[in-house]
Structure 1
Amino acid sequence: MAENEAKGKALLDEADRKLKSATGFFGNLFGGSQKQEDACELYSRAANMFKMAKKWNDAGKAFCSCAEIQLRLESRHEAATSYVNAGNCFKKTDPQEGVKVLLRAIEIYIDMGRFTIAAKHHISIAEIYENEMVDLEKSVENYERAADYYKGEESNSSANKCLLKVAMYAAQLEDYAKATEIYEEVAKTSMENPLLKYSAKDYFFKAALCHMCVDVLNAQLAVEKYDKMFPAFTDSREHKLLLKLLDAIEDQNVDSYTEAVKDYDSISRLDQWLTTIMLRIKKSINEDPDLR
């Protein structure tokens, strides 16, 4: 590992010298462009050595140096690739810097009209905010941008995956209106696809729970609406659970609510999101007069 770091530093020094000789009057006169290309290759090799040595910041900086040269040489696609490589290195030790260089790559891809690739890297940024920096609002923002780009390219399946992430975190952030709107939208588009049709019940289920967090009457009306839109929903376990929860809320019966959730969980294990939302609803039974 130390040997790889030493090789990286040697290549970096050589790249710096090569780049310096490429600038100025004599550099431009005698093959300046070729010297810059040579320097770029050396920076890239240095970055790979630093990666092998797990010197992630040094690797990221070397890839950025390579990208800057590629931009000067008008090799935009290569520059964007180098910024992505830099971002992948930085995010291991400096997530904020990782976001910064990935945004540079995205700017280049957008300028080139490569919106699908731009969307992919917005997802990478969303995941950094999601996992490394734990900033759900920023994560949601980037998932939304990715969804917009995918929609523009008619990649609706990819757009829906991003939107479901937005809905999940919007509900966690108590923006139930946004979450409900997305779950309903994705449910409707799923109904139009024979392969995705039966996943619609899960999205209607989550939309109804989000309604329930705000107002029980709206939740009742929503369940009735979903029944008409998607008859298969009526026969589902999720639908039966919703009816039991609505009854328990109307009766202000915490025990009935708990028992209904427990019965459902014994067959279909609740994930963390469902557990969080259902606990919020349960807590509101004796607190919120609007649920009486």
Structure 2
Amino acid sequence: MSKSPAQALLDKADKKVSSSGGWFSSATSKYEEAGDLYQQAANSFKIEKAFKEAGDAFAKEAECRENSKEQNEAANAWWNAAKAYKRGFPQRKLLYLPIQSISTPPSRYPGLKQTIVHLTQAGRFRQAADREKEIGQIHLQENNDLRQACESYERAGDWYAQEDAAATANACYKDAADLHADLEEFPQAIARYEQVATHSLSSPLTKYSVKEYYLRSGLCSLAMQNDTVSAKRNLAKYSEKDPSYATTREGKFVHALIEAVENGDQEAFTGIVFEFDQVVKLDNWKTGMLLKIKRGLEDGAADDGGIM
């Protein structure tokens, strides 16, 4: 049975890597030539829709590029490997690529993470941030690992910020703040919301979104053992930074919630939430935070000897 064009190229690349070279060749040129062949093989496998084999070939190319000190090409090869594995091995979440090393015993190599290593070494922090953000999405959507996702979003945000991509950085920090809250790390969540709000206040194009961040921060304060003291203090602080906040629907909503929680009034709390939801539909995150606050109210009522 004849070999496919992709397999023939792969065999040729393997043979090139294992060759000892000649008088007029160097180890560097050997790896450069093998890397080119692995790349051709990988692309041929993609045409055949053999994505697992394409990922293996791109990963071998990446090792050749590393051996020949071609850092940018190595980063691209790892990235191509990760994309191929996404099609061929979705269950592996793109984070680790199972390859047979061309120079060492079988091992597990980081795909997207290895791409990031090369990108940061080359000073390509914007591209590194893109890849780190994708890792965060994988942790969250496929692994349900909130902790790792949060760390990836914060790292991506830092890299976007230093590349002056403020809007993208703030979006990552906001996602990280949501995850801190989901993990019940409310002080960290509040700090991130405040950071994003402060940046947003500096531009007329983003100032409109400040009320959303202050609202989320206020919900975090109330979810933190129904801490109305912190919630009231933060509400006053936010109203100083943005005088219009207290008159917004979001500002009035937080103020009303604080009063209901302070009075232990579950009925009023439910009514306030219902009315707000009729005008501004609550998303899943806000609904989750409000349920945490309500449970705190119920627990407080039970501790007082009964349910209101």
Fold agreement, TM-score > 0.5: yes
Q: Which residue of 2 aligns with 1:263?
A: 275
Q: Which residue of 2 aligns with 1:16?
A: 14
Secondary structure at the aligned position of 1:231 is classed as coil
Secondary structure at the aligned position of 1:82 is classed as helix
| CA distance in structure 2 between the partners assigned to 1:185 and 1:13 by the alignment | 54
| CA distance in structure 1 between the partners assigned to 2:274 and 2:45 by the alignment | 52
Cα contact 1:167–1:179 (8 A) shared by 2: yes
Return the offset for 1:206: 0.7
| CA distance in structure 1 between the partners assigned to 2:85 and 2:187 by the alignment | 36
Name the stretch that deviates more: 60-69 or 93-102.
93-102
Cα contact 1:91–1:128 (8 A) shared by 2: no
Cα contact 2:264–2:300 (8 A) shared by 1: no
- Which one of 240, 250, 255 corresponds to residue 238 of structure 1? 250
- Which one of 242, 249, 252 corresponds to residue 261 of structure 2? 249
| CA distance in structure 1 between the partners assigned to 2:221 and 2:49 by the alignment | 48
Q: Which residue of 2 aligns with 1:56?
A: 51
Q: Which residue of 2 aligns with 1:188?
A: 198
| CA distance in structure 2 between the partners assigned to 1:60 and 1:177 by the alignment | 42
Q: Which residue of 1 aligns with 2:186?
A: 176
| CA distance in structure 1 between the partners assigned to 2:275 and 2:222 by the alignment | 19
Secondary structure at the aligned position of 1:151 is classed as helix
Secondary structure at the aligned position of 2:244 is classed as helix
Cα contact 2:31–2:67 (8 A) shared by 1: no
Return the offset for 1:164: 0.7
Secondary structure at the aligned position of 1:113 is classed as coil
- Which one of 21, 25, 34 corresponds to residue 31 of structure 1? 25
Q: Once the two structures are superposed, what CA deviation does each residue of 1:79-134 show, in whole Å capped at 9, x if it has no partner?
A: 11001111222244222315922111211122222222222211121111111211
The structure where helix makes up a greater share of residues is: 1
| CA distance in structure 1 between the partners assigned to 2:262 and 2:137 by the alignment | 39
| CA distance in structure 2 between the partners assigned to 1:272 and 1:52 by the alignment | 41
Return the offset for 1:34: 4.8
Return the offset for 1:161: 1.4
Q: Which residue of 1 aligns with 2:101?
A: none
TM norm structure 1: 0.90
CA gap 1:70/1:258 in 2 versus in 1, 3 angstroms: same
Cα contact 2:13–2:34 (8 A) shared by 1: yes
Return the offset for 1:285: 0.5
Q: Which residue of 1 aligns with 2:73?
A: 78
Cα contact 2:132–2:152 (8 A) shared by 1: yes
User: In the comparison of the two structures, how many residue pairs are matched?
Assistant: 284
Identity of aligned residues (%): 34
Cα contact 1:19–1:35 (8 A) shared by 2: yes
| CA distance in structure 2 between the partners assigned to 1:231 and 1:209 by the alignment | 20
Return the offset for 1:28: 4.1
The one-letter amino acid of 1:195's match is L
1:211-226 counterparts in 2 under 5 A? 211-214=221-224, 215-226=227-238
Cα contact 1:184–1:207 (8 A) shared by 2: yes
| CA distance in structure 2 between the partners assigned to 1:56 and 1:171 by the alignment | 38
Cα contact 1:16–1:39 (8 A) shared by 2: yes
| CA distance in structure 1 between the partners assigned to 2:37 and 2:29 by the alignment | 12
- Which one of 232, 239, 262 corresponds to residue 227 of structure 1? 239
Q: Which residue of 2 aligns with 1:7?
A: 5
What stretches of structure 1 of length at least 5 have no aligned partner?
Answer: none
The one-letter amino acid of 2:23's match is L
Secondary structure at the aligned position of 1:241 is classed as helix
Name the stretch that deviates more: 72-81 or 108-117.
108-117
| CA distance in structure 1 between the partners assigned to 2:194 and 2:300 by the alignment | 25
- Which one of 274, 278, 287 corresponds to residue 275 of structure 1? 287
Q: Which residue of 1 aligns with 2:100?
A: none
1:45 corresponds to 2:40: yes
What stretches of structure 2 of length at least 5 have no aligned partner?
Answer: 98-108
Cα contact 2:75–2:116 (8 A) shared by 1: yes
1:67 corresponds to 2:62: yes
Cα contact 1:91–1:97 (8 A) shared by 2: no
| CA distance in structure 1 between the partners assigned to 2:220 and 2:138 by the alignment | 26
Name the stretch that deviates more: 44-53 or 184-193.
44-53
| CA distance in structure 2 between the partners assigned to 1:90 and 1:132 by the alignment | 15
